[in-house]
Homo-oligomer: A and B are copies of this chain.
Amino acid sequence: MRGFLKKGLPEVGMMTPFKLTDELVAEIEQLIEYQKDSQLVSLLEEVHYADVAEIINELNALEATYLIKLLESDKTSDVLTELDDDVREAILNNLSSKEIAGELEELDTDDAADIVAELPQEIIQEVISEIEDREHAKDIVDLLRYDENSAGGLMAKELVRVNENWNVLTCVKEMRAQAENVTRVHSIYVVDDDEKLKGRLSLKDLLTTSTTAPIRNVYIPKVDSVNVNEKPEEVAKIMSKYDLEAIPVVDEIGRLVGRITIDDIVDVIREEADKDYQLAAGISQVVEADDSIWELTQARLPWLFLGLLGGVGAASIMGGFEEMLKEHAILFFFTPLIAAMAGNVGVQSSAIIVQGLANDDLKGSISNRLVKEMLLATLNGIILATILLFFSWWWYGNFFTALAISLSLVVVIIVAGIIGTFIPLFLDKRGIDPAIATGPFITTSNDIFGILIYFLIARLVLGL
């Protein structure tokens, strides 16, 4: 009996991570060229939509469109959400409004709204009007009016809501109907007659509650929610701090308007981390290794230009101390060291502050932070300067020159640490993303200050 029933079903096995190979892409291109539809369908049947998207990213627009039209739209709709922006745009250009509407029909409202927002203005209305499920179309249109960079822009309309005036029996019936459209239920939200969020019911509670009880007697009148205007990073912080898998979104007067799930938040966290990482590395807009040379240049050149200005500034400063060249050329040999140390210390201290700000775990006043960084920089500076003192004394044979270089290094490190600590705190107070401070911005300003301080102190110590 068992063998008969399970015939044809694949055996469950260890999940072997999908690996995109050139051979696979070539095979699929071949099958498309010869229009081997049934072979394509069966080849891709067991492949997850996220992996199908990876394959399609490698195809040209015509091949990609062919595949999207060939496969079932319950799969292709999900594929569309995972594609690179430019590939998706090319495919949507090749689809009719009716075909696009068919894909949107299969998607959750949040993903559908994201795709609609990317369409050319002139076809949006037509696409929306082709969506057969009018409720779905209305929800998508509702979502379009929220700022992409807000809880409203992240949320989906799909959720299970029950009225506090129902009883458990009605509730279970209604819930079953609503659950059809909701991929993951998580929580059942309780609202009053004005749609205001009152509390929640957990699925587990529902499994163990008598069906005759009225909802208003059994629901939990405590539920975390976020305002529809909240920033995505804040939603991410709240959900990860409180270990929430879904959070309801309410409007300005407390009405339940949507729900954000943790999978969207995982994407927000990843994107935030990528952005901060790139800013720290001096890349001014989010790019990927596979972007075009022109896109990469646009992201990289501005910071390099800043670095160039800094270097020119440093050169001008050194030109101002030209008279020291004859007697103390060694001072000039150590300028890259001074600039590098100033840059490194600045980046280290600003990175710790930026991260503390991002994770909301900085306590205490700015002045306390600065004092602490000063002590820390002094400790590090003295250790490093002592090493440098002995080395440069041994190398150049002049103790006072060596002392001048080492003393300067200590001061440069302290100033660099203070600048690195102060700038992100200052930017944050002004409402500017402090992540911009780590990287070339700090490095460049510290290069200039470092070299200036270095020569001033050296001149003082050497009595020139």
Interface centre among A198, A344, A387 (most CB of B within 10 A): A344
A316-348 contacts to B, CB under 8 A, are 316, 318-319, 322, 325, 329-330, 332-341, 343-345, 347-348
Known interface pairs A184-B245, A223-B12; A308-B337 also in contact (CB < 8 Å): yes
Q: Does A438 contact B (CB under 8 A)?
A: yes
A interface residue count range (under 10 / 10 to 19 / 20 to 34 / 35 or more): 35 or more
Which of B48, B204, B270, B337 is A315 in contact with, Cβ under 8 Å? B337
- Given A278-B355, A281-B350, A325-B325, 9 more pairs with CB closer than 8 A: A14-B254, A17-B238, A273-B277, A289-B369, A296-B352, A296-B376, A304-B344, A319-B330, A325-B332
Q: Does A185 contact B (CB under 8 A)?
A: yes
**Chain B nearest CB: distance from A398 CB in Å?**
14
Report copies per complex.
2
Which of B262, B352, B440 is A266 in contact with, Cβ under 8 Å? B262
**Chain B nearest CB: distance from A224 CB in Å?**
5
**Chain B nearest CB: distance from A22 CB in Å?**
8
What residues of chain B lie closer than 8 Å to A270, measured between beta carbons? 240, 269, 273, 359
Point out residues on A near B: beta carbons under 8 Å. Answer: 2, 5-6, 9-15, 17, 20, 48, 50, 58, 176, 179, 184-185, 197-199, 203-204, 207-208, 216-217, 221-227, 234, 238, 240-243, 245, 250, 254, 262-263, 265-267, 269-270, 273-274, 276-278, 280-283, 287-290, 293, 296-297, 300-301, 303-305, 307-308, 310-312, 314-316, 318-319, 322, 325, 329-330, 332-341, 343-345, 347-348, 350-353, 355-356, 359, 361-363, 369, 372, 375-376, 379-380, 383-384, 387-388, 391, 395, 438-440, 443-444, 447, 451
